[in-house]
Amino acid sequence: MSNEAKPETLGFQAEVKQLLHLMVHSLYSNKEIFLRELISNASDAADKLRFESMQDPTLLEDDADLRIRINCDPEAGTIAVSDNGIGMSREDVIANLGTIAKSGTAEFLSALGGDQQKDARLIGQFGVGFYSSFIVAERVEVFSRRAGLGAAEGVHWASTGDGSFTVESIDRAERGTTIVLHLKKDDREFSDQNRVRMLVRKYSDHIGFPVQMRAAGETADAEFETINESTALWTLPKNEISDDDYTDFYKHISHDFEAPLAWSHNRVEGKRDYVSLLYIPSRAPFDLWNREAPRGVKLYAQRVFIMDQAEQFLPLFLRFVRGIVDSSDLSLNVSREILQQDSGVEAMRSALTRRVLGMLERLASDEPDKYRQFWNEFGAVLKEGIVEEPGQHDAIAPLLRFASTAEDGDAQTRSLQDYVEAMSADQTKIYYVFGESDGAARNSPHLEIFRDKGVEVLVLADRIDEIMISHLAEFDGKPFQDVARGELDLGDTASDKEHADEPPNDLLEKIQKALGDRVAGVRRTGRLIESPACLVVGENEPSAQLRRMLEAAGQSLPASAPTLEVNLDHPLLARMATEESASRLDDLSLLLFEQARLAEGGLPEDPAGFVKRLNHLLLDMTEGRKVWTPA
């Protein structure tokens, strides 16, 4: 397309329209953050050019001093941020500025509910990069040319954030990008040089490139001066770095508005030489549950940027960790494929994983309130480590937190160590109960004997919990036991085995005959106090909850039937024992089985038949026929 062509008007992606509307109309409490976002993007562009120029030095175009420059014009009410980094082609501009390419956009936007203050916090929490310009600007222009392209292949992008933008080709001699913000009347403070200098020092002091401005009051042809430290923070001794420095650097690399919960800065020397600076965020990103989303730390080799999201250095269950790794052992021309095969990467991965888990252990021990915040945000992801990293069980298990019958509410605050220390001398197992929700699990009839005997049970309601427990197997030498699985043995307390020597019960045989192959057997229970019946799965069978979850995901499982345990001391069973009609006993047996399925979160096999049998029973009661009446 020639530079004589007219501007082309295009529409924003639908998600961008929604995001821009929220920014323009929300009560945004921290407008100044837009400058940090633009400087961070400029820094990324310079990093990318520095890396690509190692393979193609001509991209530097006789201008090897990478930098970021800011120009303020109070009279015009504008601020411009320029870099001489990699730049953008026409296609890049349309792709990068017209859409939100980051995975999870739909999930993020679904979290925005129309509450202006809440939505503004969400926007700030997740970072919005270039689009934050529209918080303070009524019009934004972008002038760019990608390194390696001719001067005639420059591009000009412009928008007022109203749902569309224009793109046209221009002549641009210099490579890189210039973003010009035409500030809103109420936001012209951001065209003041002193104000901007203060913001650069506050948010962008430690980026790896000089940020330059002309001295205040100087003319347009005055020399530029560097106003930031331009020092790679991770290369400094820890005793020279303040907590504020660490926090500011985290915000720079993560585009997060909130301070991190914790960080770990370490230098390793010896067989492998590298520096790591790892952070635990205080809030989960909107795409945390998208396992395919880009993730990982920033990778440098001797301060040279290599990769923005090097996922090879941390396992997937630690995908929330942010930070940098700078290694002197990796080749500067390393590519993603070579990195995956590098002999030292796996060793660094193991060491960094231990580093993060150790950081979490210290947080749990020294700052329990912060750890509780971490667990609420990332606990379910940490559980994935039990499934995916068997070698890390001993490190992860003490970090797990659970809801428990020993505590009210559904807060997950009970550690396995807490549970073991509270066990009685004769308790040999760690008991747990599954449920579709915390309330459903706590109301499970399987808990009745445990409440009666004062035995604590862990309450598991996360979808991953059953798979996690099956991989964990034991803690501190104590095996885990599902209260709804196999025969129950509470040591000196009630047990299924209490009734092992009793003669066969005629009612149990009749119920078994009525239910047929719906159940593997019918037996007297030691679990129940108040409920008439419950279903128990075999030791090696998936629970009802796991079976439903896997089937919903399209996985077929071998057919299996649970065991029906009945409370022969319950009045309903006493009434059934006196029933003379075989057909009514069959109906009551089916109702008994179906209510046990309902109690564990399942549905009747034949809902219409269930309703019919229940209606018959209700009619018998209302017509005064001979039926059982609760005591």
What DSSP line would sit under 307-327, residue for residue?
EEEEGGGS-GGGTT-EEEEEE
199's CB contacts (< 8 A; 6+ apart) are: 32, 35, 36
Q: Beta strands 458-460 and 322-327: pairing type?
A: unpaired
Lowest-confidence segment of 167-176, 178-187, 350-359, 554-563 by average pLDDT: 554-563
Query: When comparing pLDDT for 7 and 508, which is higher?
Result: 508
Lowest-confidence segment of 156-165, 236-245, 479-488, 546-555 by average pLDDT: 546-555
Q: Give the pLDDT confidence of 569-578 residue by residue, as tens digits.
A: 999 898 899 8
Instruction: Tell me which CATH homologous superfamily contains domain 8-231.
Output: Histidine kinase-like ATPase, C-terminal domain (3.30.565.10)
Lowest-confidence segment of 24-28, 144-148, 291-295, 299-303 by average pLDDT: 24-28
Q: How far apart are CA 200 and CA 232, in angstroms?
A: 15
Locate tokens 């564990």: which residue? Answer: 600
Nearest to 242 by CA among 263, 211, 256, 273: 263
Q: What is the DSSP letter of 146?
A: -
In this prediction, residue 219 carries a pLDDT of 67
- Give the CA count within 13 Å in the CB-facing half-sphere of 522: 26
In this prediction, residue 119 carries a pLDDT of 44
Query: When comparing pLDDT for 190 and 6, which is higher?
Result: 190
End-to-end CA distance of the chain: 88
Query: When comparing pLDDT for 123 and 297, which is higher?
Result: 297
User: What average pLDDT does range 90-94 have in this prediction?
Assistant: 90
pLDDT at 167 exceeding the cut of 60: yes
Q: How far apart are CA 620 and CA 627, in angstroms?
A: 7
pLDDT band at residue 12 under the 50/70/90 scheme: confident
The answer to whether 312 touches 349, Cβ cutoff 8 Å, is yes
Q: What is the DSSP letter of 215?
A: P
Lowest-confidence segment of 12-21, 48-57, 121-130, 150-159 by average pLDDT: 121-130
The answer to whether 130 touches 158, Cβ cutoff 8 Å, is no
pLDDT at 48 exceeding the cut of 80: yes
CA angle centred on 544, ends 583 and 617, rounded to 5°: 25
pLDDT at 116 exceeding the cut of 50: no
User: What average pLDDT does range 511-532 have in this prediction?
Assistant: 92
In this prediction, residue 495 carries a pLDDT of 44
pLDDT band at residue 34 under the 50/70/90 scheme: confident
In this prediction, residue 287 carries a pLDDT of 78
pLDDT band at residue 110 under the 50/70/90 scheme: low
pLDDT, the chain, mean = 83
User: What average pLDDT does range 3-17 have in this prediction?
Assistant: 69
For the chain, the domains span 8-231, 234-371, 496-539+560-631
Tell me the two tokens of residue 467. 């798979």
Tell me the two tokens of residue 149. 């392209």
Q: Which amino acid is at 410?
A: D
CA angle centred on 340, ends 339 and 341, rounded to 5°: 90
% helix / strand / coil in the chain, to the nearest 5? 45, 20, 40
pLDDT at 3 exceeding the cut of 60: no
Residue 237: strand, helix, or coil: coil
CA 362 to centroid of chain Cα atoms:
21
The answer to whether 187 touches 136, Cβ cutoff 8 Å, is yes
Q: How far apart are CA 366 and CA 370, in angstroms?
A: 9
User: What average pLDDT does range 134-144 have in this prediction?
Assistant: 93
The model's pTM is 0.69
Q: Give the pLDDT confidence of 463-512 residue by residue, as tens digits.
A: 889 889 989 989 999 999 999 888 877 754 444 444 545 555 789 999 99
Q: How far apart are CA 403 and CA 387, in angstroms?
A: 20
CATH code that applies to domain 496-539+560-631: 1.20.120.790
In this prediction, residue 398 carries a pLDDT of 96
Count Cβ atoms within 10 A of the Cβ of residue 143 and give its class: 0-12 exposed, 13-18 middle, 19 or more buried.
Answer: buried
The answer to whether 159 touches 166, Cβ cutoff 8 Å, is yes
In this prediction, residue 410 carries a pLDDT of 80
Question: Which helix H or strand E contains 249, and what residues bound it?
Answer: helix 243-254
% of the chain with per-residue pLDDT over 70: 82
State the sign of the Cα–Cα–Cα–Cα dihedral 498, 511, 547, 540: positive
Residue 168: strand, helix, or coil: strand
Which residues are 279's β-sheet partners? 263, 322
Query: When comparing pLDDT for 448 and 310, which is higher?
Result: 448
User: What average pLDDT does range 330-353 have in this prediction?
Assistant: 69
Q: Beta strands 521-524 and 563-566: pairing type?
A: parallel
Q: Give the pLDDT confidence of 407-446 residue by residue, as tens digits.
A: 887 889 999 999 999 999 889 999 999 888 888 899 999 9
Query: When comparing pLDDT for 367 and 493, which is higher?
Result: 367
User: What average pLDDT does range 288-310 have in this prediction?
Assistant: 79
**CATH assignment of 234-371, given 3.10.620.30, 3.90.470.20, 3.30.110.30, 3.30.230.80?**
3.30.230.80
In this prediction, residue 27 carries a pLDDT of 40
pLDDT at 240 exceeding the cut of 80: yes
pLDDT band at residue 37 under the 50/70/90 scheme: confident
pLDDT at 115 exceeding the cut of 60: no
- Give the CA count within 13 Å in the CB-facing half-sphere of 625: 10
Q: What is the DSSP letter of 259?
A: P
In this prediction, residue 264 carries a pLDDT of 96
CA distances for 476 relative to 418, 419, 480, 510, 539, angstroms: 12, 11, 11, 44, 21
Number of Cβ atoms within 10 Å of the Cβ of 116: 12
CA distances for 26 relative to 124, 129, 255, 402, angstroms: 11, 17, 19, 37
The answer to whether 133 touches 179, Cβ cutoff 8 Å, is yes
pLDDT at 105 exceeding the cut of 60: no
